[in-house]
Structure 1
Amino acid sequence: MESDLFGSLKDGEKGAVLVVHFGTTHEDTRAKTIDAVNKKIAEAFPGIEVREAWTSRIVMRRLKAQGIQKMNPEEALKQLKADGYTHILVQPSSIIDGIETESLRKDIAAQQQDFKEVRLSIPLLYSPDDYEAVIKAITTQRGKEDAVLLVGHGTYTPNTAQYAMLDYMLKAKGFDQWFVGTIEGYPYFDDALSQIRKKDCKTILLMPFLFVAGEHVKNDIAGDWKEELEKQGYHVDVLMKGLGENPAIQDIIVQHARFSATHQSMDIAKKKKEYAQGKEKYE
């Protein structure tokens, strides 16, 4: 339902956007992805404070050893409270609604009472419209290769089905030479390879379906996956870019932030209670 988080601020109230990233130890990709998205969101919310938090404790620990400090969501929210902010929009740069989003929800729930409102926005892939927008954004990057293999992170939870949905929608949109595999979930490497073998393919472009081009891109995709495909007789190129470098992908994240700043998700328990009282639908 429509609900303007920042447009309804009263005297003494302060709004902020907290942009939450997984993070990376690779400075080159950070500047092109994380910093770029932060800048675009700041431009989209003039007069509103924009801050960042990272969720990967491993990445933050490694950076701390180099003298670089990054806040996790819990720390960032505590700092926002200390600085007097009352209304917070949390915008993740995560690809799917997976375990990182689950962890983020718990961080927010633990400190919800410290603010007048904390609103969590959605990841890159959420509604079917998001999948269509992402497909439109990435399919312009194909070169002359016979096939494109998108490589996502994957997850051990049922949410890994979101990658299979992406594969299905690519085919439904006519992109028959596009395939999806994941590093740590389903579809597995062998599933993607099985589909590629059914096509008359000799050259493959490996395209990271990850926000940053960090460890997984440089080691798993450009290393293990490329080598295994070459053993199968394919000529393989690798697009050494994270999704976050794509301006169209950045714009989708900004659009999600804009929408979530002016619309609030309805509580399912509240809806069920109203249905039980006779309300048929919401306008």
Structure 2
Amino acid sequence: MEHKAAIVLAMFGTTVESALKGLLNIHAKMTVRFPAIPVRIAFTSNIIRRRWQKRAADPAYLHAHPDIPVEILGVRTVLAVIADLQDQGYDSIVLQPTHIAMGEEYLDLGTYVDSLLRMGTVKKTKYKPFHKIALGRPALGTYGPIHPYADDITAAAKALAADAEMARAARAALVYMGHGNEHFPSAGSYVELARRMRTLHPDVLTLIGNVEGFPSLDDVIGELQRSEAKRVLLKPFMVVAGDHSVKDMAGPEEDSWKSVLEQEGFEVHAVERGLGEIDDFANIFVRNAAEAAADAGIFLK
């Protein structure tokens, strides 16, 4: 029997309209790479989905924001999107997260895949809801011998070459603000990425700090002071330049990263541009989806 394939992009989401560019760029890159395959968007954040549902029901908001895509206004959960695809006859799904590291949300997606694949039928196997479901890797990779995480970190570092060049031109240290996690040991990937960036661009001090967990902003400040840096190019190490970027990173509040760094005597230039807006970085997720499909034996046209 013929098996129909589809791709689902599992995104945390954002409520900041300008930040949608990062998500939509990833979607656009995926549709260009696989023009004959439906590519659907799902948001994993309940709060963000509810905000968009409220906006979609508000005529005044729709009139003021005519450029918001229908896919965002009607965004659904991962399971809802997969259920719709199954109802439309798609039984081979590539679930590609747009997460940075292997944290709790990525592990949650793994449980979804395991549960869906266990669904069967009493009669013939061919009547199972799904033939195959593949879970793609986050940007900085995951564990296992098939796709070494170190290669993913190197690919991510190379995709950020333009950031290093921007910092070099400004004679500034390159500081990224990541999200991080207090409960999962994903910080090692961030630290290793910063080290890889410094290896590729030895004349640019690259550091990554996290909003949650290690390394913190204090850790970053310590490294900047030890290196006697004077200027800082500050960027979000997140797929979108959403609330964290607007408020926590570059906001006017005295506890924003920009304000704290300036209080410490650094000259700071903040660039509110999500990683998803960088074509080379967006293509990492396209590559990961293609490799997940190939590993699972799912044919993507």
Tell me the TM-score range normalised by the shorter chain: 0.7 to 0.9
TM-score of the aligned structures, taking structure 1 as reference length:
0.85
Tell me the alpha carbon deviations over residues 118-155 of structure 1, each in whole angstroms, 9 at most, x when there is no partner.
Answer: 11011111121121121122132223142111111001
2:223 to 195, 208, 230: 195
* Residue aligning to 2:33: 44
Give yes or no for the alignment of 1:121 onto 2:136: yes
Check whether the contact 1:206–1:226 (CA below 8 A) recurs between aligned residues. yes
Q: Aligned AA for 2:187? A: T
Q: Report 1:88-167 matches (<5 A).
A: 88-112=93-117, 113=119, 114-126=129-141, 127-141=149-163, 142-143=166-167, 144-156=170-182, 157-167=184-194
Matched residue of 2:229: which SS? coil
Deviation at 1:111, TM superposition (A): 2.1
CA distance in 2, matches of 1:79, 1:235: 51
Deviation at 1:70, TM superposition (A): 1.3
Deviates further, 164-173 or 248-257: 164-173
CA distance in 1, matches of 2:212, 2:270: 19
Deviation at 1:197, TM superposition (A): 0.4
Check whether the contact 1:160–1:185 (CA below 8 A) recurs between aligned residues. yes
Give yes or no for the alignment of 1:245 onto 2:234: no
Deviation at 1:230, TM superposition (A): 0.6
Q: Aligned AA for 2:133? A: V
Matched residue of 2:52: which SS? helix
Q: Which runs of 4+ in 1 moved over 4 A?
A: none
Deviation at 1:259, TM superposition (A): 1.6
CA distance in 1, matches of 2:203, 2:53: 43
Give yes or no for the alignment of 1:27 onto 2:17: yes
Matched residue of 1:103: which SS? helix
Check whether the contact 2:102–2:138 (CA below 8 A) recurs between aligned residues. yes
Deviates further, 131-140 or 89-98: 131-140
Matched residue of 1:33: which SS? helix
Deviation at 1:201, TM superposition (A): 1.2
2:51 to 59, 62, 77: 62
Structure 2: segments with no counterpart, 5+ residues: 57-72, 120-128, 142-148
Give yes or no for the alignment of 1:75 onto 2:80: yes
Check whether the contact 1:145–1:205 (CA below 8 A) recurs between aligned residues. no
Check whether the contact 2:239–2:274 (CA below 8 A) recurs between aligned residues. yes
CA distance in 2, matches of 1:15, 1:85: 6
Q: Aligned AA for 1:45? A: F
Give yes or no for the alignment of 1:171 onto 2:160: no
Matched residue of 2:236: which SS? strand
CA distance in 2, matches of 1:264, 1:84: 19
Q: CA RMSD in A?
A: 1.6
CA distance in 2, matches of 1:176, 1:37: 28
CA distance in 1, matches of 2:207, 2:187: 15
Q: Aligned AA for 1:245? A: E
Q: Aligned AA for 2:181? A: T
* Residue aligning to 1:257: 289
Matched residue of 2:219: which SS? helix
Check whether the contact 2:5–2:37 (CA below 8 A) recurs between aligned residues. yes
Deviation at 1:175, TM superposition (A): 5.4
CA distance in 2, matches of 1:46, 1:207: 32
**Aligned in 2, Cα 1:175/1:150: closer, same or farther, shift over 3 Å?**
farther
CA distance in 2, matches of 1:21, 1:119: 16
Structure 1: segments with no counterpart, 5+ residues: 1-9, 266-283
CA distance in 2, matches of 1:95, 1:160: 11
Aligned residues: 254
- Identity %, equivalent residues: 31
Matched residue of 1:263: which SS? helix
Matched residue of 1:198: which SS? helix
Matched residue of 2:181: which SS? coil
CA distance in 1, matches of 2:18, 2:25: 12
Tell me the alpha carbon deviations over residues 219-261 of structure 1, each in whole angstroms, 9 at most, x when there is no partner.
Answer: 0110200000110111101011000000110111111112222
Matched residue of 2:212: which SS? coil
Give yes or no for the alignment of 1:17 onto 2:32: no
